[in-house]
Amino acid sequence: MYRIGIDIGGTFTDFAAVDQSGSVVFAKYPSTPEDPSIGLTEGLCALADELALTRDELLAQTDLILHGTTVATNALLEGKGAKVGMLTTEGFRDVIEQREGLKPDRYNVQMPAEPPLVPRHLRLPIVERRRFDGELIKALDEQSVLDALEVFREEGVEAVAICCMHSYIDPATELRVAELVEQELPGVYVSLSSKVLPEIKEFERFSSTVVNAFVGPLIAEYMQRLSTRLEGAGYGGDVLIMHSHGGLSTIEDAIELGAGLVLSGPAGGIAGGQYCAAVTGVDDFITFDMGGTSSDIALLKDATPSYTGNRLVANTCVALSSIDIHTIGSGGGSIAELLPGNILKVGPESAGSTPGPACYARGGAAATTTDANVVLGYYDEANFLGGRVDFDGQASKDAVGAIASDMDVSLTEAAQGIVRVINTQMAEGIRIVSVRAGADPRHFALLSFGGAAGLHIADIARLLDIKRVIIPRSASVLSAFGMLASDLRYEQVRSVMKSLKDLSQDDLFNLVEDMRGLVDQKLNKLESLLESRRHDLALDMRYGEQIFEIRVPADRTTLKSDDFAELLAAAFHQKHEELYTYSIPDQEVVVVNVRLSGVGVMASMPNEAALPRDASDGRYKSREICINGEWRTVSVYDIDSLRPHTHVEGPAIIESKTTTVLIGPQDEVNITPHGWLDIAINQSISAASAA
Amino acid sequence: MADAITASVIQRRFFSISEEMGEAMLRTAYSQILNASRDFSIGMFDAVGRLIGQAEHIPLHVGGLPFAMKAVTDYFGDDIHDGDVILLNDPYHGGNHLPDLTCFIPVFLDGHDRPQFWTLNRAHQSDIGGSATGSYNPAATEIWQEGIRIPPLKLVDRGIMRKDLLAMIAANVRHGPDFRGDLAAMIGSARIGAGRLKELVAEYGLNIVNDSIDHILNSSEVQARAAIESWEDGDYFGEAFMDDDGHGTTDIAIRASVTVSGSELIVDLTQSDPQVKGFNNSSYANTVSSVHYALAYLVDPTIAKNAGTFRSVQVKTAPGTVVHPFEGAAVTLSTNHPSQEIAEAVMMALAPACPDRVVAGWGKRYRIAISGKNPRNNKPFIWHLFHARPGAGASCNGDGWSNIGELANGGGLKFGPIEVMETRFPLLFEKHEFRKGSAGAGKYRGGYGVSLALKLETDEPVSAVAAGEGKHHAPFGLFGGDAGLPHSYGRRPPGSSQIIDIPTKTVDLTFESGEVLVIESAGGGGYGDSAERPPHLKALDAKSGLELTSEE
């Protein structure tokens, strides 16, 4: 039987299938943004081709499809979601537009105000109010709800977000309002703040709830179409959906919590990173995914990513737990520009994929990172990006040439300059992300994926004093691949807001047991897929005087211990010291939230099968490239023909249909048993002189 | 000679070093004003005292750092050694106001007996002494009532901490342990920058780095000059007002005569009003700083800010005015006001010269600090009002942001979650939503202010301090746009329906248990003629339930 991972991206839909022996095949198929389920079902044919099967044969032999989707992300980015009506406590109608009084980019005072997902005339007050301790000081006036729903009916509202103050303590009012909505507007999608994110902090909770209402109906429709198409093709197995937190859920649960899908795709990449850690035995990875417009960076410590509850997607706050992925505005399409006074700037403006770099011959005339790489001779001009896009090398030369003549340097020097600037930016981006996490990048290996990263990754590592770079064979489809190795995950959170010393042990324990019960209910439904289950408990705590809390893992036995409060406090002080270099042991510790994740560990993917060994060393041609300012002829290797345990010494190019990797002088590549590149970076070349 | 590409790469490194210093500060500072509100800035200087890079935290800080740098080198001359750490906060020695403490580290390279670089960290302390908690003292009439003055002072001498000095300073501020923690974070952050600069020199060599600095500063100068050159030559005038000084002087004017001539700019503030008795005087460094951030906003927010950026700008002041007081005048409010009025006067003056760069008026800061006993735990509490922020002004790019506050920080400060405030303090927010009719109308409207009704759930009366501006003078409109509504700050005693006015500057307020603060914050000014407002925005306005000023 097969397991299939599918990741729908903006340009391509990526597929990976693994069978019981562990052999993995990949496919890429153009995405169909108008209805992504079309590209998905058609692309399955391409995947089946790789296995010499028909699609129906492949699906008949498949028991699990794991799927990451950009439906929620795109709805937010393009502002094309459901028409949402918001019901909220009287006096607090503008919470989502107030954004806690924060405007990004301080110096840009002309930045126009960001329109909220729900305009004010659809954010309607309902009469009710609960205090911080749960006491209802103003009972719900149902007429105020009915009046608002009348407006929603006239306006043709498709989804309703119910957001009451302090509802994380007691959801009763929101539940009653939901009943009224279902009664008055049957069939409308309903999103409750006490369900989506029962956590103190109204802006985060309300905004996430509104996002959920905004994307929920689209997710429901999409999932419906997907199920129909897969059933039509004869598929009878399970479909699980990838969430921003890197775990999987059923389709039904994904529809209920659509806001949890906004980082579905990138989360798959991190899952792929975790799989790479398991395969290579390297525990501390920085993952670097270079795209066209931007690049994503994440840190895996002990093969575990960190999570954040505070993400902005398309400038909208989504506070559901997600893997902490940082995005920097540098990519293959970043545009180079010469500022007055002769300073070269690369990005954040990007040519994207339309018009794209000048060499794409789609009308782009600006010099991009990719054009600089073309000028330096790194690409196979006869088979550019595997022949998937047209190629016009002269256009790259013209674009970079314009900058060269403005700078009064040679074409090669200008191209090298662009690459030096972008490599510096990307390396410095990684450094800052590491510093924020309290980590030293020199102690990490760099895991490179995404089609564009290969030409830059060795020099980025050199700039950061990183000694080892790993490029998996599946680098260009790592998200789809990572889904194959993911587990089910359900999360619960409750706000407590009590000082540790005032916290009743029984209350805390019972709360955790309730949360366990809820996640277990979900996992029980998928019992047949599970090998084991795990409950990850964490407490968000802070010192009494602070505003921001930090997440501290805890275990259930601690909660039963007589000195549970001391143990939790000690764990908090230690974590605080780790993150902020100090702790204040005599200060009061406050528990803000209790979090529990139920992880359903699925039968693990069989280890990727080792490749056969043969005599071929993968070298198949040579190419003249510019490296460190010198033009020289280097060997070009075909990644698919490189056999395990082969060594390749730089300078060299290693390429496939989807990626090109530049190996620097004296960098040494070892091919792993699975055909991956494991590169030892030569640090003796000064980063300052490296091109 | 350094080539343009190397200079471009080194500039990226300067950005990154400043950012890393900032991140280190965020991670290690004790006070929330630093680690949550980011009220600090980073700077790096070269051997001759030129600002070569900075982290973009507080726009106001940046223009002032060179004055502080100069004060340090003037004072110590050759008496600067490897391992020294120097402190300064005195507004009459290059500081802006006493709570902003700056720490300097000289960077020595092998073979040089003078520092080749300096790294700096300027951070707002949660308290710096004086007679009011938090060091905003509207009763102050001289700087000695505002806190401890620190002229250039060696805290660490060749690696040896002068413990007695540190103890003396810590004894003069209210939260000694926090102060020490924050200071350690500042020094740590500056040391990280020093280390990174040494690495950079090790990679490239000092000559290439220094050549690159010349190149980078020249480039910023060329970019700023190119922007100024695009403005029409002429003599322009702008005038902005503070309400009062809390000691009887009202309608305090800042007057800017601005001359644009080619790429040169002269900002003449000499006609501003005389210095005042209260704490809203602006030291010379703070004044120049305010002009610089106004220009940074106008010229192009993305130009790197360094010693080259404003070489073409001259600022003229007259001693004895509110923008250049004689030594000894009280100044603490100046980083908000008149900093904002100085920037506004410059922007109003230049509006006809660069209509597509200016923004209309923003609302002003109005601090209220409440202290009393929390009946829920019988402990004392202090609460600072950060809610009910005013609206921002509109520009040719669109409507102003609602409730993002004041011009000097460009909307970069968050107010805390209301649910958390209600849980931690004896407060009930009855209402916190956009204020009807507050936004100035125009082709693009200003941002809305906020209506706040805040009930005190204490058992006993609490005392409060107010330090505000903008109740009388409203955020201005531009090119036919209307002014926003000014602030209205009042209180409603329990059992009464009367709203009593809260003065802008006072130290002796008492609120009864159950009293409600009724605050209506200012809306931003509008831009352009309302008749030209795009129809889709008009339609949204009509449905929003929030009329604009002109419809009132």
* Contact indicator for B94, B64 with CB cutoff of 8 Å: yes
**Owning domain of residue A407:** 334-419
Interface test with A, best of B8, B302, B381 (most A CBs within 10 A): B8
d(CA A563, CA A571): 12
Residue ranges making up the domain that contains B469: 359-552
pLDDT of residue A690: 47
For residues A518 and A515, give the distance between their C-alpha atoms in angstroms, rounded to a whole number. 5
Q: How far is A602 from chain B (nearest CA, A)?
A: 38
Q: How far apart are the first and last CA of chain B?
A: 65
ipTM of the complex: 0.93
Residue of B226, B414, B428 lying closest to A102 (CB–CB): B414
Instruction: Read off the CATH number of the domain in which A519 is found.
Output: 3.30.1490
Contact B5 A581 (CB under 8 A): no
Q: Residue for token digits 């035995």?
A: A281
What's the pLDDT score for residue B526? 97
Q: What is the pLDDT of residue A585?
A: 85
Contact across the interface for B417 and A582, Cβ inside 8 Å: no
In total, chain A counts a number of residues equal to 691
Residue A129's domain is classified under what CATH number?
A: 3.40.50
Is the predicted pLDDT of residue A377 greater than 90, yes or no?
Answer: yes
Nearest in space to B394 (alpha carbons), one of B351, B366, B358, B340: B358
Q: Does residue B191 lie within any of the structural domains?
A: yes
Mark which of B165, B196, B217 sits at the end of a domain.
B217
Q: What is the structure's pLDDT at A689?
A: 53
Yes or no, beta carbons of A438 and B27 under 8 Å apart: yes
B479 three-state secondary structure? coil
Strands in B228-365 per DSSP E: 234-244, 250-261, 264-268, 313-316
**How many angstroms separate the CA of residue B385 from the nearest CA in chain A?**
13
Task: Considering only the beta carbons, identify the residue of B8, B398, B411 that sits closest to A344.
Answer: B8
For position A33, what pLDDT does the model report?
Answer: 79
Which residue from A339, A432, A435 is facing B219, i.e. has the nearest CB? A339
A151 touches chain B (CB under 8 A): no
Q: Rounded to whole angstroms, how far apart are CA atoms A626 and A620?
A: 19
What is the number of H-type helices and E-type strands within chain B?
A: 10, 20
- The residue ranking higher by pLDDT, B54 or B502, is B502
Taking residues B24-49, report their average pLDDT. 85
Tokens of A444: 């990490």
Domain boundary among B200, B217, B234: B217
Say whether A416 and B296 touch across the interface (CB within 8 A). Answer: no
Lowest pLDDT segment from A410-419, A584-593, B442-451: A584-593
Give the count of beta carbons closer than 10 Å to the beta carbon of residue B109: 16
Could you say which of B217, B247, B275 is where a domain stops?
B217
Interface with chain B: mutation pick from A109, A343, A440, highest number of B CBs within 10 Å: A109
Taking the Cβ of residue A165 and every Cβ of chain B, the question of whether any pair is shorter than 8 Å is answered with yes
Q: Over 80: is that where the pLDDT of A652 sits?
A: yes
Q: Is A528 on the interface with B (CB under 8 A)?
A: no
Q: B-contacting residues of A 342-361, CB under 8 Å?
A: 342-345
Q: Calculate what percentage of chain B has a pLDDT beyond 70.
A: 99
Rounded-to-integer distance, Cα B2 and Cα B215, Å: 8
Q: Which of A100, A114, A421 sits opposite B9 (nearest CB)?
A: A421
Q: B414: distance to nearest CA of chain A, Å?
A: 5
Q: Is residue A577 part of a domain?
A: yes
Q: pLDDT tens, B1-34?
A: 578 999 999 999 999 999 999 988 887 887 777 7
* Chain B residues in contact with A688 (beta carbon < 8 A): 6, 203-204
Q: Name the strands in the sheet holding A619-627, side by side, starting at the edge strand that comes first in the sequence.
A: A619-627, A630-638, A652-655, A660-663
Tell me if A431 and B20 make a contact (CB, 8 A cut-off). Answer: yes
**Is residue A435 predicted with pLDDT exceeding 90?**
no
Considering only the beta carbons, identify the residue of B386, B413, B545 that sits closest to A120: B545
- Check if A523 contacts B (Cβ < 8 Å): no
Q: pLDDT class for A28, splitting at 50, 70, 90?
A: confident
* CB pair distance less than 8 Å for B23 and A417: no
Closest residue by Cα to residue A660 from A634, A639, A630: A639
Q: What is the pLDDT of residue B508?
A: 87
pLDDT at B384 over 70: yes
A170 touches chain B (CB under 8 A): no
Please give the pLDDT value at position A685.
66
Residues A322, A263 contacting (CB under 8 angstroms): yes
For residue A621, the model assigns a pLDDT of 87
Here the tokens at position B514 are 């159950």
Size of interface A-B (CB pairs under 8 A): 225
By C-alpha distance, the chain A residue nearest B221 is A341
From A581, A602, A623, the end of a domain falls on A602
Taking the model in full, what pTM does it have?
Answer: 0.93
Locus of tokens 């030569």: A682
B223 with A339: Cβ contact below 8 A: yes
Determine contact, residues B116/B107, Cβ cutoff 8 Å. Answer: yes
Our CA-based measurement puts residue A102 at a distance from the nearest CA of chain B, in whole angstroms, of: 5
Question: What does the alpha-carbon distance between residue B476 and residue B82 come to, in Å, rounded to a whole number?
Answer: 51
Interval A277-310: pLDDT, tens: 888 888 899 999 988 888 899 999 888 888 888 7
Q: Both A414 and A497 in a single domain? A: no
Residue of B nearest to A408 (CA): B4
Name which of A110, A123, A147 to mutate to probe chain B: the one with the most chain B Cβ atoms within 10 A of its Cβ. A110
CA distance A181 to A173: 12
pLDDT at A657: 77
Q: What is the pLDDT of residues B432-485, one digit of tens each?
A: 999 999 999 999 999 999 999 999 999 999 999 999 999 999 999 999 999 999
Q: Is residue B332 part of a domain?
A: no
Q: What is the pLDDT confidence band of residue A615, given thresholds at 50, 70 and 90?
A: low
Query: Which residue type does A109 have?
Result: V
- Is A553:A541 a contact under the CB 8 Å cutoff? no
Set of chain A residues whose Cβ sits within 8 Å of the Cβ of B410: 103, 105-109
- A93 and chain B in contact, CB less than 8 A: yes
Residue with tokens 């009287």: A90
Identify which has the larger pLDDT, A573 or A549.
Answer: A573
From the list A110, A113, A548, which residue is nearest B36 (CB)?
A: A548
Residue A50, pLDDT above cutoff 60: yes
Most confident of A99-113, A324-338, A564-578, B466-480: B466-480
Q: Dihedral, CA atoms, A143, A148, A151, A152, nearest 10 degrees?
A: -130
Of B24, B402, B432, the CB nearest to A435: B24
Would residue B333 count as lying in a domain? Answer: no
pLDDT value at B550 more than 80: no
Give the one of B411, B433, B545 whose C-beta lies nearest to A92's C-beta. B433
Compute the average pLDDT of residues A31-38.
85
Residue B400 has pLDDT above 50, yes or no: yes
3-state percent helix, strand, coil for chain A, nearest multiple of 5? 40, 30, 35
**Reported confidence tier of residue A612, pLDDT bands at 50, 70, 90:** low
Q: Give the minimum alpha-carbon distance from A101 to chain B in angstroms, rounded to a whole number.
A: 4
pLDDT at A608: 66
Kindly state whether residues A95 and A210 are assigned to the same domain.
yes
d(CA A318, CA A647): 46
* Residues of A with Cβ-Cβ distance to B399 under 8 angstroms: 112-113
Model pLDDT, residue B46: 97
Give the number of domains in chain A.
3
Q: Can you give the pLDDT at residue A467?
A: 94
pLDDT for the residue numbered B126: 86
* Statement: residue B551 has pLDDT above 70: no
Q: What is the helix (H) or strand (E) element at residue B188, kind and residue range? A: helix B176-204
Amino acid letter, residue B336: N
Does A543 contact B at CB distance below 8 Å?
no
Report yes or no: A459 at the B interface, CB cutoff 8 Å: no
pLDDT tens digits, one per residue of A140-188 = 999 999 999 999 999 999 999 999 999 999 999 999 999 999 999 999 9
Same domain, residue pair A414 and A511: no
Nearest to A290 by CA among A444, A482, A478: A478
Between the alpha carbon of residue A363 and those of residues A375, A382, A392, A399, the distances in Å are 18, 20, 11, 12
Report CB contact under 8 Å: B8, A417. yes
**Residues from chain B contacting residue A413 (CB–CB below 8 Å):** 5
Nearest CA in chain B to A499: B424
**Residue ranges of the alpha helices (H) in A169-263?**
172-184, 193-196, 202-232, 251-256
Residue B295 tokens read as 């220009």
CA distances from A497 to A206, A403, A573, B350 (A): 19, 58, 18, 51
Q: Of A549, A584, A602, which residue constitutes the final position of a domain?
A: A602
Min CA distance, A598 vs chain B (Å)? 28
Q: Tokens representing B228?
A: 């100024």
Mean pLDDT, range A39-48, rounded to an integer: 92
The yes-or-no verdict on residue A233 having pLDDT over 50 is: yes
Residue A91 tokens read as: 């006096």
B-chain CB neighbours of A340 within 8 Å are 219, 222-223, 226
Q: Looking at the domain assignment, is residue A48 inside a domain? A: no
Number of domains in chain B: 2
**Region B491-517: what's the mean pLDDT?**
95
Q: What number is the average pLDDT over the span A83-101?
A: 97
Residue B552 pLDDT class (50, 70, 90 cuts): very low
Q: Given the DSSP bridges, would you call strands A84-89 and A159-163 parallel, antiparallel or unpaired? A: parallel
Residue B419 has pLDDT above 50, yes or no: yes
Contacts of B434 in chain A (CB under 8 A): 93-94, 97-98, 120
**Section A99-118 average pLDDT:** 89
Asked whether residue A414 is assigned to any structural domain, the reply reads: yes
Q: Does A440 touch chain B (CB under 8 A)?
A: no
Kindly list the residues from chain B whose CB atom is less than 8 angstroms away from the CB atom of residue A132: 419, 422-423
Q: Which residues of B touch A417 (CB under 8 A)?
A: 4-5, 8
Q: Is B117 domain-assigned?
A: yes
Give the domain-ending residue among A214, A229, A250.
A214
pLDDT for the residue numbered B1: 56
Q: Specify the amino acid at residue A448.
A: S
Is-contact A6 A15, C-beta < 8 A? yes
User: Are B241 and B469 contacting, i.e. CB atoms less than 8 angstroms apart?
Assistant: no
Highest average pLDDT, of A31-45, A575-589, B70-84, B410-424, comes from B70-84
